[in-house]
Amino acid sequence: MNLEETLKVLTEEIADMISTKTVIGEHITIEGRTIIPVTKVSFGFGSGGGEGKAKAGDQGSGSGGGGGACIQPIAFLVVSKEEVQLFAIKDKGVIERISAVIPEIMEKCKSMKEECNK
């Protein structure tokens, strides 16, 4: 694969990964509140190639590429009939507040599952 083909494949793969669903996650609705995760998405890639002659006079060429991505949660939107709240992960204490709510969320999910099974 030559350098142009490598770059084309690499950028197409990255474009396939980028969507609004990557940044704004799947929502969860519990007791009239909708929780929406918000993430920061970073992508990076590089490629290179070259041609040259070996000592024996043979022609040689090579190319390569690589990339990486980082998806980091940065906030949660909590939407209810009364208000919309944004809980930024960077704020001190947000992790503790979210951790305190997780058991309640799990209990609600368990109750909902039991009701569906009936």
Tell me which DSSP letter residue 57 carries: S
Residue 2 has pLDDT above 70, yes or no: no
pLDDT confidence band for 118 (50 / 70 / 90): confident
Residue 30 has pLDDT above 80, yes or no: yes
Residue 73 has pLDDT above 80, yes or no: yes
Distance CA 112, CA 118 (A): 10
**pLDDT for position 53:** 78
Tell me which DSSP letter residue 118 carries: -
Provide the Cα torsion 7, 10, 11, 14; round to 10°: -170
CA 95 to chain CA centroid, Å, is: 19
Distance CA 54, CA 10 (A): 29
Extract the tokens encoding 74.
């940065």
